[in-house]
Amino acid sequence: MRADPGSHGRIRPVAVSGRRALRLEADGGSRGNPGVAGYGAVVFDAVTGDTLAERAAPLGKASNNVAEYSGLIAGLEAAMEIDPGARIEVAMDSKLVIEQMAGRWKIKHEDMRRLALQAQDLVRRIRESEGEVTWTWIPRERNKRADKLSNDGMDGEVVTSDYWREADSRPASLAGEQLTLLMPDEDGERAVPEPPVVVPARTSPTPRRIVLLRHGVTDLTVQGRLDGRGGIDPELNPEGRRQAYAAAQGVHDQILGEVPYVVTSSLARAKATGGAVAQALGVPARVDADWDEQSFGAWDGLSFSRIRDLAPDGLASLRSDPDFCAPGGESHRDFIARVLAAYERLLDGVDEGQTVVVATHRKPIMAVLAHVLGLDMASGWRLGCGPASFTVVDVFPGAVTIERLNDQHHL
């Protein structure tokens, strides 16, 4: 069995609503369609991101769709070996397979119908074991592991790797700590959180750690439209919700010492993102509206091209003039004053060796970083801050260190 190329650390036992949470990514391909075909599948722990199993095999001459269904079947079989009663999210870049398995599209081709029946039988057996299967389409660039394995299959390689068996055979003392991630049930109910996760603090000097987490995407984020305080205030879209739960695990790995609470802005997208983290850590979430995004007034909800039509120099002024504000909006100077006041209050309420997570927005994170790094307003825009990314700031007596910046590895 070859070495695991994608594990993000130790395998940890996970309880999610009483069931293990798995993520299955599957793919298949054909060089010729039909032509030389193969499939690939990889099963992850949905919370830790650890690779639990990999599958790949050649199929001879077959179509792309047959290869994709074969990858799905192999992945479901691997997931059932790990835990037949698990909560399994199936993610594939084949819109056809996802929609057909979800029951929204008809299956007309006989070979695909036969394979779909096999997959549906596996899903039925999982549900009979009190497990659950959900279906998610993902773009191809986010399915690289399964795509690589399917190419291995097309090259004639057979892969049957079960990393979870090695983890389960180790002494319990080496199995690692337990983390509960509370994914919403279909009926909206949530599990009771486990006690807070506590990681041993570092040796002296011990900093106060601030994890600045940007919210997941909304429809406005995807459309490239401004969305500030006092505006539309959209909820996370489905991708944003997935990012929020992924961010909960990414943040967990950065915890230093005790987490007394999570802070969120008052805007819906930040509260939802911070709420996922708070539930995963088993701590309360506190709302502080001073962590809200800047108010963009009449420009809120507009695209950048529309703003350029209305005010050709407006965006440049917004990025470089601290006293400029959109009609009815907030100046950068006023915005900085409230965000830095929130930051100072946060530091006053955090003890050495504690971590506080702040779920907020791009400009508040940029404002804090510019403050601690001594950057002017224009230079602050050079700092990356993608959706659902986190930045780690360690505050020592008389010093500040940026441990991580714009980290999105969990996505």
Which of 23, 366, 409 is closest to 251 using CA atoms?
A: 409
Q: What is the number of other CB atoms lying within 10 angstroms of the CB of residue 171? A: 6
Query: Which of 25, 68, 132, 293 is labelled catalytic?
Result: 293
Rounded to an integer, what is the distance from CA 20 to the centroid of its chain? 18
267, 293 contact by CB (below 8 A)? yes
| Residue written as token pair 């081709």 | 109
- DSSP-assigned beta bridge partners for residue 355: 209
State how far the Cα of 249 lies from the Cα of 411, in Å rounded to an integer: 10
Among residues 215, 252, 332, 361, which one is catalytic?
Answer: 215
Distance in angstroms (rounded) separating the CA atoms of residues 274 and 347: 18
CB 268 within 8 A of CB 233: yes
Quick one: 177 exposed, middle or buried, by C-beta within 10 A (0-12, 13-18, 19+)? exposed
**Residue 215 bears catalytic tag:** yes
Residue pair 158/152 in contact by the 8 Å Cβ criterion:
no
- H or E stretch covering 52: strand 51-62
Per DSSP, the residues of 178-244 read: -B---PPPTTS--PPPPPPP-BPPPSSSPPEEEEEEE----HHHHHTB---TTS--PPP-HHHHHHH
State which H helix or E strand residue 253 sits in.
Answer: none
What would the two tokens of residue 163 be? 């990393």
Task: Report the alpha-carbon distance of residue 135 to residue 88 in Å, rounded.
Answer: 9
Nearest residue to 123 via CA among 78, 89, 72, 76? 76
3-state secondary structure of 163: helix
Per 3-state DSSP, what percentage of the chain is helix, strand, and coil (rounded to 5)?
40, 25, 40
| Separation CA 301–CA 227 (nearest Å) | 6
Q: Which tokens belong to 281?
A: 């850590």
**Catalytic site positions:** 215, 293
